[in-house]
Amino acid sequence: MNSTKKAARVAGLVYVLMSIPGGFSLLYIPSVLLVPGDATATVNKIQTSKLQRRGGTVTLRVADCNGR
């Protein structure tokens, strides 16, 4: 296998692996923390859900590092 093909496969694998935390932070976290139409309830959920908030922040940072 030549080096270009190997690099392309590694890049593809990294891209697929980065989609897992990206999907988690973009789909799951907002569905847990956001209350449509009620800003006060949203703030309360964010303040009381430290683990989800931190997990969402970490996964966004990891997903944002893709390609940098």
- Cβ count near 54 (within 10 Å): 10
The total domain count for the chain is 1
Tokens 């980065």, located at residue: 18
**Token pair of 4 as six digits:** 């270009």
Residue in 29, 58, 62, 24 with CA at minimum distance from that of residue 46? 29
Q: Which pTM value belongs to this model?
A: 0.52
* Cα dihedral sign, 42-47-52-58: positive
- Give the domain range for residue 50: 3-64
> pLDDT tens digits, the chain, 68 residues: what are they?
788 999 999 988 888 887 777 777 778 878 888 899 999 998 998 888 887 777 777 777 776 675 55
